[in-house]
């Protein structure tokens, strides 16, 4: 990546590294997120148990995730551990780094339309975004949901904000969250089926007016599945409650019963 962090990592941080040199009892690796920074992994921190050949675990140019054990700030000497990074932590760090690489590609696309260099775009916008959000990707996901106004307080040129937002919306697919619940709808009236259908129809009309993505499916009387698709879990929950309460309210007005079971 073009972007590099200017500060040193903290102890216990997870860092992306590339193996540069493998010796009989140690490994030297560059810290890819930092400029000209190298760390050392002692053989005891490569893997648990006895290691006969260190090259069974690593080789030159292999990209690995390490945990920072100790930092000598005066010497810029960093001790790393490979064995203290569990699988879930490694996968999470790798995915975060991958998403940040993709986000930097978004910046590169924007530079072509703005006719400025990547370095200039970082100076005018990228560094401000990272300082505020911690990463480009976090900001870009926020823009997908809330629009370009999330950048209003960062004092970024309007032309850059507009072009960057256009590229983000064009190239990044919004996250999709689906949640389902069970509605238990009952009516003993002669036209009970029509009452239930009418209440559900009102729920669909309400959802359409609000721009909600809604789907009903029949399970078995008196149960119906209600599915909401949104770009945020909290929003999906709120939409679910609004629609379920509306349907149940309309059922009860006609003397029927309704119950909202979350989540099915």
pLDDT tens-place string over residues 155-164: 999 999 999 9
Please say whether the beta carbons of 42 and 54 come within 8 A: no
How confident is the model over 191-214, as pLDDT tens digits?
Answer: 999 999 999 999 999 999 999 999
pLDDT of residue 165: 95
pLDDT of residue 231: 76
pLDDT of residue 263: 60
pLDDT of residue 119: 97
Please say whether the beta carbons of 228 and 179 come within 8 A: yes
Per-residue buried b or exposed e for 203-240, using 16+ beta carbons within 10 Å of the residue's own CB:
beebbeeeebebebeeeeebebebbbebeeeeebbebb
Provide CB contacts within 8 A for 131, sequence distance 6+. none
In the three-class reduction of DSSP (H, G, I as helix; E, B as strand; rest coil), residue 41 is classed as strand
pLDDT of residue 29: 98
Read off the pTM: 0.69
Pairing of strands 63-72, 77-81: antiparallel
Name the region of 195 (left: φ>0; alpha: ψ -120 to 50; beta: rest): alpha
Q: What is the mean pLDDT of residues 220-245?
A: 90
- Judge whether residue 248 has pLDDT over 60: yes
Question: What is the distance between the alpha carbons of residues 143 and 208, in angstroms, rounded to a whole number?
Answer: 24
Provide CB contacts within 8 A for 2, sequence distance 6+. 104, 118, 119, 122
How confident is the model over 108-140, as pLDDT tens digits?
Answer: 999 999 999 999 999 999 999 999 999 999 999
Question: Tokens in use for 14?
Answer: 């997870």
Radius of gyration of the chain (CA): 27
Please say whether the beta carbons of 135 and 8 come within 8 A: no
Which domains occur in the chain, in start order?
A: 14-85 (2.40.50.140), 88-171 (1.10.150.190), 177-262 (3.30.70.1130)
Closest C-alpha to 35, from 70, 5, 13, 55: 5
pLDDT of residue 233: 82
pLDDT of residue 241: 92
What is each CA distance from 123 to 70, 110, 118, 189, in whole angstroms?
Answer: 31, 14, 9, 69
Closest C-alpha to 168, from 258, 253, 103, 250: 103
Question: What is the distance between the alpha carbons of residues 172 and 163, in angstroms, rounded to a whole number?
Answer: 14
pLDDT bin (cut points 50, 70, 90) of residue 48 is: very high
């Amino acid at each position: 990546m073009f972007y590099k962090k200017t500060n040193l990592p903290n102890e216990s941080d997870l860092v992306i590294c590339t193996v540069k040199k493998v010796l009989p009892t140690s490994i030297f690796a560059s810290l890819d997120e930092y400029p000209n920074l190298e760390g050392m992994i002692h053989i005891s921190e490569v893997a648990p148990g006895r290691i006969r050949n260190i090259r069974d675990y690593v080789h030159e140019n292999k990209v690995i995730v390490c945990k920072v054990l100790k930092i000598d700030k005066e010497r810029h000497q960093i001790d790393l551990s490979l064995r203290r990074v569990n699988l879930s932590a490694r996968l999470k760090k790798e995915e975060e780094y991958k998403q940040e690489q993709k986000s930097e590609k978004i910046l590169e696309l924007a530079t072509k339309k703005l006719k400025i260099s990547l370095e200039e775009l970082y100076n005018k916008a990228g560094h401000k975004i990272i300082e505020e959000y911690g990463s480009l990707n976090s900001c870009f996901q926020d823009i997908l949901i809330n629009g370009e106004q999330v950048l209003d307080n960062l004092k970024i040129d309007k032309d850059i904000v507009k072009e960057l937002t256009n590229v983000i919306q064009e190239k990044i697919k919004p996250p999709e969250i689906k949640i389902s619940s069970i509605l238990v709808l009952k009516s003993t009236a002669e036209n009970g089926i029509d009452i239930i259908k009418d209440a559900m129809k009102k729920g669909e009309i309400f959802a359409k007016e609000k721009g909600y993505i809604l789907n009903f499916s029949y399970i078995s009387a008196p149960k119906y599945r209600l599915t909401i698709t949104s770009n945020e879990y909290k929003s999906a929950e709120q939409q679910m409650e609004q629609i379920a309460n509306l349907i149940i309210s309309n059922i009860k007005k006609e003397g029927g019963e309704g119950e909202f079971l979350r989540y099915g």
